[in-house]
Amino acid sequence: MNKVALVTGAGSGIGRASAIALLNAGYHVVLAGRRADALAQTAADAGAAATRALAVPTDVCDPASVQALFERTRDAFGRLDLLFNNAGSGAPAVPLDELSFEQWKAVVDINLNGAFLCTQHAFRLMKSQTPRGGRIINNGSISAHAPRPFSAPYTATKHAITGLTKATSLEGRAHDIACGQIDIGNAATEMTEPMARGVLQANGELAAEPRMDVAHVARAIVHMASLPLDANVQFMTIMATKMPFVGRG
């Protein structure tokens, strides 16, 4: 039986790399993201495997849009074996007291509420399908452990994702639904390009930071997804070896 995966934020970066890796591993993959053109590019980058891709433009902040996404998935494939909650966004790097409520809320809506909405619909589908169950992987980020300067919304939501991962893992036990979290540090994507030029450190200095090939993250996702449902990677940290995270920078 061909397995079915759904990747949010599949139009760029980690989402694109992971979706292509899953397609190359034999999955049918639902590509979810806000921009249809970006999703089409992800499918094109998968080459011959793109015949197993389904692009569904989606706003994970919108409950109706998320419902439509999962209905399309069920109608097209009849089941869902893997959800990768990857969609995420940050706010401008300004002091906490200078953030607007709208900037705060936009990050919470995408990073946390979006992951919750997708998890809720995945639960409903995974509980009712035959064979039942499935796997959910949440993108937690290194920011689930430690903040960067001026990153209150992003850091708060990524810490919250850890709580969502634990709660989902616990509630999923009775329904053969496994949930784990991957915490990623400095994968080389468009979003992290400024790190190579220099980013603000906790001591106030600017410093360039090492990055790693995003393909390493994609392979980790495929590994986590490939486990039988009686085994789970609860938490995985994958990062550029020399990035300033462990220790004092």
**Which positions are annotated as active-site residues?**
154
Kindly state the greatest CA–CA separation across the chain: 55
With CA atoms as reference, report the closest residue to 201 among 140, 142, 248: 248
CA distance 179 to 229: 10
CA distance 84 to 182: 10
Residue written as token pair 């409950």: 63
243 neighbors 186 (Cβ within 8 angstroms)? yes
With CA atoms as reference, report the closest residue to 16 among 214, 195, 183, 212: 214
Residue 63 is encoded by which pair of tokens?
């409950």
What sign does the CA torsion over 50, 89, 168, 70 have?
A: negative
Long-range pairs, 50-57, Cβ under 8 A, ≥24 = 50/23, 52/2, 52/23, 52/26, 52/27, 52/28, 53/19, 53/23, 53/28, 53/29, 54/28, 54/29, 54/30, 55/31, 56/30, 56/31, 56/32, 57/32, 57/33
Residue 1 neighbours by CB distance under 10 Å: 6
Residue 58 is encoded by which pair of tokens?
């989606």
